[in-house]
């Protein structure tokens, strides 16, 4: 045969290969810049290991107080288990100011280790029929995502683990194992409450898809089942702290609404335009002679207080942002309610996360990961999806550049983004070539068929003439 | 007569369990080449984050300080003072000991650094200058040199290799793997972007010269190779190969004298161009040459996996002979070692034979020459990477032991993390799933057992070197053991490649291949 088909190689081998390559890159990223998030997680590792659970949310020996829900604290505890074998000072409170290299290496390795969950979820999702033709691409786009590498393995966070949980629940929903999907999402909420923004979509979808359409009794029974599943998860997380009477303290820690509308680094969301519009209007109106007071409060400051940081436009409150988020999500909620289809669940949830990013209160730019990573898995559905993802992933990674502000990381972040963009470009081109190959094969087969028909006709004619 | 209706076949479904990696066919050439180059550059950038040689080690520091000092010298002194001992230029403190092209390169980089950070290259006051910004600037000079010299040479070589179909038609699909092998050479990345050197320039020029020879631009090749020699005198390790191959080609042409004269003209002209500031007096030229060949430093220094150092355990060369007879002995041993490949190329030059002779010639110099450093293993590694498609197993084996021979250096520079990561990445690409490279020949079980012995020894030594303290009586015991293991493997490899080159003649004669000249 003139054309060679691609050599067959098992998905498992490609999976292990991609993960190993990513791990080597993560090893090389160990000595790079780390933000205060590194000290935060270092402290939480020591805190959850050295102190009993009663003191986790009340300890104030460090300024980096625990402000994630209890499942993340349990996760930190799990990661701290082998730590005393390496160095006892890793898990002693108070933590040393300047960590030795061994501590840095250990913590970076825990992040790489927790990425195994992400690997597992992506592997499960890649086995879906549509992605089965290009399973390696699905893996590569997520595992080698420069945004994830920059945020998790340089800046230092555990987003790989959390996205792994999210993708796992999305996988269960795609396979129509709704109860499992709901339970996993609940445990995700108990690990990082930021994902509450996707909760309305989950609720609508699960209510309609899992509970409705099976008659009242069965539907009610399923509702109770789902509710109790979620309740069990929440109980496992929060029960000890209810027992200790620390729920108020917990709520204060988890939802610090005293902060401003925007983070220190503005996330590229809707409020940026609002602020710019406000400033332009103030400038124009002052030129026209109106007396516009310069606001005292700043947008990126801490406590806003009573005064509004806006000169002309109305002040934005947390309630207003909440309503806007729900409004923006409305089409998605309606779709989830009216026509819940498992194959669309990734798009629905990504939509919800995007709305939360666009209109939310005090959004970090790192939150763009929450919708970029799931969208990588549907990037191969069609050429349009691939084009959209190409643009989206580049823009969202570029928006994360200010996170790595030191000169040493400049070339690293630029090269990571360039290499990823070239990978997508190369795959798009060769995908086009692959399609051409298939079309060419089809043509050849049809051409052979036509020739065979002609040959038979000739033979018939000649035998007729004989 | 009714025939059974042939069922309409639709296009074959793509294999469901197959995972198509980016370098499986059909792969568009330009995007894939760009992707591989960018990935190689990314790895270099990541390794640059690590420490450099002599970081924080006052008062002498290391190669990084030497390069910075050369930038300072060339920037502030006139060329006549570069190689002379003056009040501003203390030759004992990292004096220039590479040919003038290195000095010009230092001057260019010095100008660039001076524009943004003058304190780093100020005369005399910048000795031992270390800061985050200066480290970044210095690293960027290496990265830019690599990108401007080595990468284009590698791309040209792979293009020429594939266009000429060296090694047969079936190798054509392997161009991506070959490009990755050439660009992702672990030793080169670790030495240039970790330890800190500029081997990428001289090796890149040599690679360009090789590509020129393959694509029959011999004059360009001669010029590039002369430039390579003028950047680092160690490039002379390849000189016998170039000389024999070009001589062989010239002899087979119509007017050999004219061809040889043309080449000589180019070579001498390039030399004159580079040495121009030093040609005004006999003394100036001799001054430079004396800096390039420091015979007083002895036949070997430290522990390097070559013949003289490894056999010095049994025969104490330094004690038995003075410098003059040792020079003669090493010269004759080297000549004897590269003589077979030299003769083969003069008799019947061929493209593949040229690549083998590059390797044999550089290997013979590494094993038998005077004052060889452990970093010189980079020189035989270059042609080995060019032969990666022909000899995948040999290449993988060689890379592993070349890296292992530099292990003590890596540990001294605290580049262990980068060592592990780059070694891991290299072997992941070497064994990339779906590629049939590296699995070509069948080795018998007994041979595998014999080969695994040095490999296991090396693994053990990796760990003991780090964890266990050597006995007080022999403080360099582990260094010596590492040297022995590597030397044994290098000797086997050198014998194997010499044999392969010699057998090229008989093989091609038996299948009647027409050699292109």
Tokens (6 digits) for A398: 């570029």
CB contact under 8 A, A7 and B18: yes
pLDDT score of A39 more than 60: yes
Report residue A364's pLDDT band, with 50, 70 and 90 as the boundaries.
Answer: confident
Inter-chain touch A29–B35, beta carbons under 8 Å: no
Mean pLDDT of A8-36: 85
* Inter-chain touch A449–B14, beta carbons under 8 Å: no
**Residue A229 burial (CB count, 10 A):** 15
Q: What is the DSSP string of A61-123?
A: SSSS---S-HHHHHHHHHHHTTHHHH-GGGG-SSPPSS--HHHHHHHHHHHHHHHHHHHHHHH
pLDDT at B12: 39
pLDDT of res. A3: 31
The band of A9, judged by pLDDT with boundaries at 50, 70 and 90, is low
C-beta atoms of B6 and A429 within 8 A: no
Higher pLDDT, A452 or A336: A336
Please tell me the predicted confidence (pLDDT) of residue B111. 95
**Residue A44, number of CB atoms within 10 A of its CB:** 25
- The tens digit of pLDDT for each residue in A306-334 reads 556 777 788 888 888 899 999 999 999 99
Mean pLDDT of A155-178: 93
Share the mean pLDDT of chain B: 87
For residue A97, what pLDDT is reported?
A: 82
Q: Long-range contacts of range B159-168, CB-CB < 8 Å, 24 or more positions apart? A: B159/B211, B160/B211, B160/B214, B160/B215, B161/B214, B161/B386, B163/B215, B164/B214, B164/B215, B164/B351, B164/B516, B166/B214, B166/B351, B166/B352, B166/B355, B167/B352, B167/B389, B167/B390
- Confidence check: pLDDT of A8 > 50: no
Percent of chain A with pLDDT over 90: 44
Strand-pair partners of B372:
B300
Mean pLDDT of chain A: 85
Q: How far is Cα A118 from Cα A339, in angstroms, rounded to an integer?
A: 29
Q: Which ranges constitute the DSSP H helices of A1-35?
A: 11-28
Q: Which of residues 47-76 of A touch B (CB under 8 A)?
A: none
Question: Residue A200's pLDDT is what?
Answer: 93
Task: Determine contact, residues B396/B430, Cβ cutoff 8 Å.
Answer: yes
Mean pLDDT of A365-381: 89
From B8, B46, B433, residue closest to A25, measured CB to CB: B46
Please list, in sequence order, all residues whose beta carbon lies within 8 angstroms of the beta carbon of residue A430, skipping any fewer than 6 positions away: B22, B26, B27, B28, B31, B32
Asked if the model's pLDDT at residue B445 lies above 50, the reply is yes
Residue A341 lies in a domain: yes
The answer to whether the Cβ–Cβ distance between B17 and A434 falls below 8 Å is no
Of A10, A20, A24, the CB nearest to B17: A10
Mean pLDDT to the nearest integer, B13-18 = 40
Q: Say whether A13 and B19 touch across the interface (CB within 8 A).
A: yes
Residue A361 has pLDDT above 50, yes or no: yes
Select from B507, B517, B510 the least CA-distant residue to B167: B507
Q: To the nearest whole angstrom, how far is the Cα of A197 from the nearest Cα of chain B? A: 35
In percent, the amount of chain A with pLDDT more than 70 equals: 87
Shortest Cα–Cα distance, B194 to chain A (Å) = 12
Confidence of residue A60 (pLDDT cuts 50, 70, 90): confident
Q: What is the pLDDT of residues A242-258, one digit of tens each?
A: 998 888 888 888 887 66
A281, part of any domain: no
Average confidence (pLDDT) over B103-123: 93
Residue A75 clears pLDDT 90, i.e. is over it = yes
Domain parsing of chain B, residue ranges: 294-508
Sign of the alpha-carbon dihedral angle for B156, B157, B162, B163: positive
Predicted confidence (pLDDT) at residue A82 exceeds the cutoff of 60:
yes
Beta bridge partners of A363: A262
**Contact at CB, B45 and A449, closer than 8 angstroms:** no
Q: Is B16 on the interface with A (CB under 8 A)?
A: yes
ipTM over 0.85: yes
Q: pLDDT tens digits for A273-304?
A: 888 888 888 888 888 887 777 776 666 555 44
- At residue A326, the pLDDT reads 93
Q: For residue range B124-166, what is the model confidence (pLDDT) as tens digits?
A: 888 888 999 999 999 999 999 999 999 999 999 999 998 888 7
What pLDDT is stored for residue A333 in this prediction?
92
- Domain count of the fold of chain A: 1
Do residue A28 and residue B27 have CB atoms under 8 angstroms apart? no
Q: Determine which of A17, A21, A26, A28 to mutate to test the interface with B (most B C-beta atoms within 10 Å).
A: A28
Domain that holds residue A202: 7-261+317-465
Closest CB to B22: pick one of A27, A426, A434: A426
Q: Which of A423, A441, A449 sits opposite B12 (nearest CB)?
A: A441
Give the lowest-confidence range in A29-33, A194-198, A297-301.
A297-301
Q: What is the pLDDT of residues A398-456, one digit of tens each?
A: 999 988 989 999 999 999 999 999 998 888 877 665 555 555 566 666 666 777 777 77
User: Would the pLDDT of A150 be above 70?
Assistant: yes
Report how far residue B156's alpha carbon sits from residue A420's, in angstroms, rounded to the nearest whole number: 24
- How does pLDDT run across B164-217, given as a tens digit for each residue? 887 666 667 788 889 999 999 999 999 999 999 999 999 999 999 999 999 999
Task: Give the chain A residue whose CA is nearest to the CA of B436.
Answer: A7
What pLDDT band is residue B18 in, cutting at 50, 70 and 90?
Answer: very low
Residue written as token pair 């970081």: B55
DSSP string over B314-348: TS-HHHHS-HHHHHHHHHHHHHHHHHHHHHHHHHS
- Could you read off the pLDDT of A384-398 as tens digits, one per residue? 888 899 999 999 999
Q: Of residues A90 and B189, which shows the higher confidence score?
A: B189
Structure tokens given for A168: 């796992």
Write down the pLDDT at residue B6. 45
Structure confidence at residue A297 (pLDDT): 61
What band does B91 get if pLDDT is binned at 50, 70 and 90? confident
What is the interface size between A and B, counted as CB pairs within 8 Å?
149
**Digit-coded pLDDT (tens) for B291-350:** 888 777 777 877 889 898 888 888 888 888 888 888 899 999 999 999 999 999 999 899
Q: Is the pLDDT of residue B482 over 70?
A: yes
- Selected for mutation to probe chain A from B3, B10, B15, B19 (highest A CB count within 10 Å) is B19
Is A456 inside a domain boundary? yes
State pLDDT tens for residues A106-124: 999 999 999 999 999 988 8
Which residues of B, range 401-440, sit inside 8 Å of A by Cβ? 417-418, 420-422, 424-425, 428, 432-436
Q: Provide the 8-state DSSP code for A310.
A: -
Residues in chain B: 517
B27 and A426 in contact by Cβ < 8 A?
A: yes
Rounded CA separation A349/A152 (Å):
22
pLDDT in tens, B19-67: 556 666 667 888 889 999 999 999 999 999 999 998 888 788 889 999 9
Q: What is the mean pLDDT of residues B455-466?
A: 90
Q: Which percentage of chain B shows pLDDT scores above 90?
A: 56
Specify the pTM: 0.89
**What is d(CA B87, CA A71) in angstroms, rounded to the nearest whole number?**
68
Structure tokens that stand for B500 in this block: 């392969």
- Residues forming beta bridges with residue B300, ordered by sequence position: B372
């Amino acid at each position: 045969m003139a054309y060679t088909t691609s050599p067959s190689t098992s998905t498992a081998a490609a999976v292990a290969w991609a993960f190993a390559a990513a791990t080597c890159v993560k090893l090389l990223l160990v000595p790079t810049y780390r933000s205060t998030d590194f000290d935060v997680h270092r402290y939480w590792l020591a805190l959850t290991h050295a102190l009993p659970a009663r003191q986790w949310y009340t300890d104030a020996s460090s300024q980096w107080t625990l402000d994630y829900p209890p499942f993340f604290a349990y996760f930190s505890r799990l990661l701290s288990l082998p730590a005393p074998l390496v160095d006892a000072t890793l898990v002693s409170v108070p933590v040393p100011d300047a960590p030795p290299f061994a501590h840095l290496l250990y913590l970076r390795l825990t992040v790489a280790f927790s990425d195994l969950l992400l690997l597992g979820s992506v592997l499960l999702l890649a086995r879906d029929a549509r992605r089965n033709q290009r399973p390696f691409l699905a893996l590569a786009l997520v595992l080698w995502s420069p945004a994830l590498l920059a945020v998790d393995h340089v800046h230092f966070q555990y987003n790989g683990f959390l996205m792994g949980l999210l993708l796992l629940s999305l996988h269960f929903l795609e396979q129509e194992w709704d109860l499992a999907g709901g339970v996993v999402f609940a445990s995700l909420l108990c690990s990082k409450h930021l994902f509450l923004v996707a909760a309305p979509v989950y609720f609508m979808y699960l209510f309609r898809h899992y509970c409705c359409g099976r008659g009242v009794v069965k539907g009610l029974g399923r509702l109770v089942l789902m509710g109790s599943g979620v309740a069990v998860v929440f109980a496992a997380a929060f029960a000890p702290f209810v027992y200790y009477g620390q729920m108020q303290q917990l709520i204060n820690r988890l939802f610090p609404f005293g902060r401003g509308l925007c983070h220190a680094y503005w996330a590229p969301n809707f409020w940026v335009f609002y602020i710019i519009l406000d400033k332009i209007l103030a400038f124009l109106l002052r030129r026209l002679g109106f007396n516009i007071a310069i606001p005292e409060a700043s947008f990126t400051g801490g406590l806003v207080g009573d005064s509004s940081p806006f000169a002309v436009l109305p002040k934005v409150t947390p309630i207003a942002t909440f309503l806007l988020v729900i409004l923006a999500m409305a089409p998605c909620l309606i779709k989830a309610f009216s026509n819940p289809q498992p194959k669309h669940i990734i798009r629905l949830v990504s939509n919800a996360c995007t709305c939360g990013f666009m209109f939310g209160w005090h959004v970090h730019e790192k939150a763009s990961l929450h919708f970029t990573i799931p969208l990588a898995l549907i990037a191969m559905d069609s050429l349009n999806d691939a084009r959209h993802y190409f643009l989206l992933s580049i823009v969202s990674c570029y928006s994360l550049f200010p996170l790595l502000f030191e000169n040493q990381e400049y070339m690293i972040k630029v090269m990571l983004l360039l290499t990823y963009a070239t990978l997508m470009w190369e795959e798009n081109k060769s995908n086009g070539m692959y399609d051409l190959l298939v079309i060419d094969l089809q043509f050849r087969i049809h051409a052979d068929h036509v020739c065979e028909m002609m040959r038979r006709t000739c033979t018939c004619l000649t035998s007729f003439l004989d | 007569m009714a025939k059974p209706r042939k069922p309409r076949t639709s296009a074959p479904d793509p294999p469901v369990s197959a995972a198509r990696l980016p370098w499986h066919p059909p792969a568009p050439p330009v995007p894939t080449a760009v992707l591989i180059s960018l990935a190689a550059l990314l790895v270099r950038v990541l390794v640059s984050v690590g420490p450099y040689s002599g970081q924080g080690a006052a008062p002498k520091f290391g190669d990084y300080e030497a390069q910075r000092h050369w930038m300072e010298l060339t920037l502030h002194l006139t060329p006549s003072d570069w190689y002379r001992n003056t009040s501003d230029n203390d030759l004992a403190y990292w004096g220039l000991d590479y040919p003038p092209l290195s000095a010009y390169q230092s001057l260019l980089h010095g100008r660039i650094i001076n524009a943004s950070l003058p304190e780093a290259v100020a005369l005399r006051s910048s000795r031992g200058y270390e800061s985050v910004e200066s480290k970044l600037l210095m690293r960027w000079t290496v990265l830019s040199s690599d990108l401007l010299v080595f990468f284009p040479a590698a791309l040209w070589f792979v293009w020429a290799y594939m266009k000429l179909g060296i090694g047969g038609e079936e190798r054509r699909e392997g161009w991506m793997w070959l490009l990755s092998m050439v660009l992702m050479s672990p030793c080169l990345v670790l030495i240039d972007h970790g330890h800190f050197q500029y081997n990428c320039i001289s090796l890149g020029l040599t690679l360009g010269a090789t590509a020129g020879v393959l694509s029959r631009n011999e004059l360009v090749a001669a010029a590039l190779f002369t430039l390579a020699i003028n950047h680092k005198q160690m490039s002379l390790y390849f000189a016998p190969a170039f000389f024999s191959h070009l001589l062989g080609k010239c002899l087979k042409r119509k007017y050999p004298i004219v061809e040889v004269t043309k080449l000589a003209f180019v070579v001498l002209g390039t030399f004159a161009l580079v040495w121009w500031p030093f040609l005004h007096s006999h003394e100036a030229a001799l001054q430079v040459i004396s800096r390039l060949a420091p015979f007083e430093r002895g036949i070997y220094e430290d522990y390097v996996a070559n013949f003289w150092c490894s056999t010095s355990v049994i025969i104490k060369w330094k004690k038995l002979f003075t410098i003059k007879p040792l020079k003669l002995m090493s010269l004759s041993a080297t000549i004897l070692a590269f003589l077979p490949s030299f003769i083969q190329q003069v008799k019947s030059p061929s493209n593949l034979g040229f690549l083998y002779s590059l390797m044999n010639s550089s290997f013979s110099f590494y094993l038998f020459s005077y004052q060889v450093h452990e970093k010189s293993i980079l020189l035989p590694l270059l042609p080995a990477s060019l032969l990666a498609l022909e000899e995948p197993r040999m290449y993988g084996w060689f890379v592993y032991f070349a890296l292992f021979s530099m292990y003590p250096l890596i540990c001294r520079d605290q580049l262990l993390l980068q060592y592990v990561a780059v070694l891991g990445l290299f072997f992941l690409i070497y064994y990339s799933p779906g590629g049939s490279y590296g699995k070509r020949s069948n080795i018998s079980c007994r041979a595998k057992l014999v080969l695994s012995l040095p490999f296991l020894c090396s693994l053990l030594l990796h760990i003991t070197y780090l964890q266990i303290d050597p006995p007080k009586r022999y403080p360099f015991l582990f260094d010596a053991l590492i040297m022995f293991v590597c030397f044994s493997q290098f000797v086997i490899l050198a014998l194997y490649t010499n044999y392969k080159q010699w057998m090229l003649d008989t093989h091609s004669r038996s299948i009647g291949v027409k050699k292109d000249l």
